[in-house]
Amino acid sequence: MHEAVYEVFARKERGEPLRHIGYIDAIDDALARVYAWKTYDEERWFEMCVVPRSSIIPVNRTDGPFAAAAPREERP
């Protein structure tokens, strides 16, 4: 049962910036949506989305979790 990391982004109100609020592990996108919604239920979010960590392409940093998860050819 291989789980991947998904980063969770959300905004509380219209007009607010989308913020990184946390992360969850899930075996696929569908479960990632459910886990994110159920785990980060501390606010009534206007908008929430999840992004597989491996889809985040670091631009300037070579350290940290995003760089470690990026496919080799995408690393700075």
Sorted by sequence, the CB contacts under 8 Å of residue 22 that are 6+ apart come out as 7, 8, 39, 40
Least distance between other proteins and beta carbon 42 (Å): 5
Nearer to other proteins, 29 or 65 (CB): 65
Site for other proteins in 30-69 (CB under 8 A): 38-40, 42, 61, 63-65
How far is C-alpha 11 from the geometric centre of its chain's CA atoms? 13
Least distance between other proteins and beta carbon 24 (Å): 7
Residue 14 in tokens: 């219209």
Amino acid at 21: I
Establish if 17 lies at the interface with other proteins (CB under 8 A): no
